[in-house]
Amino acid sequence: MNALSEFLGRGGPAIWVIAALSVLTLALILWKVYRLSVMGAWAGSRARRAVDLWQDGQRDQARDAVSDRAGMRALLVRQALAARSGDMPEPAAREEVARVARALLTEARSGLRALELIAAIAPLLGLLGTVLGMIDAFQTLQSAGAQADPAALAGGIWEALLTTAAGMAVAIPAAVALNWFESVVDAARHDMEDLATRIFVTGAR
């Protein structure tokens, strides 16, 4: 704990902001993993099974397969089956299914903008802290004049560089997590488009 306090003290105000961002980044990542799990972002076997049954002509079994599922693919398939089986004209049914898909994908992408912002500003905050630290170090050097101690100057410089390293340490995990979550959402979007298309090309009964 003392080492952490010393580290934060040497980094100046910027390091405290970066530390807060690191906590926020971890919380966002854990929350996003939980939310995507709840939404069934990695589950789709039941939805694909329902579409297979629909294409085989087993319409009631297809509807039963997703009737109690809460995953985003299953929700879309359930909506598509209901729209295709009803009296709604096909263009209106497609638009309704597209509306549901957009709502599900928007929910799946929630929080990603925050991670994107953290990945962008954390290195800039680190650089700002380094610049401010270098200014302070050179002001100390100027004040010391001919009696300047090179060791003291070097110590001031490496302390200033701490914020750059800290900013990168926060930005890299945020960027990796952001790209991973985006790939998960993109895969879900592709699956939902494929499942809805298979339902509509089969026809209603």
Q: How far apart are CA 140 and CA 86, in angstroms?
A: 78
Residue 145: pLDDT band (50, 70, 90) is low
Q: What is the pLDDT of residues 54-102, one digit of tens each?
A: 988 888 898 888 888 888 999 999 999 988 887 778 888 899 999 999 9
pTM (global) more than 0.75: yes
- Mean pLDDT (whole number) for 161-174: 90
What is the distance between the alpha carbons of residues 68 and 46, in angstroms, rounded to a whole number? 10
Q: How confident is the model at residue 154 (pLDDT cuts 50, 70, 90)?
A: low
Tokens of residue 95, six digits: 């638009």
3-state secondary structure 93-159: HHHHHHHHHHHHHHHHCCCHHHHHHHHHHHHHHHHHHHHHHHHHHHHHHHHHHHHCCHHHHHHHHHH
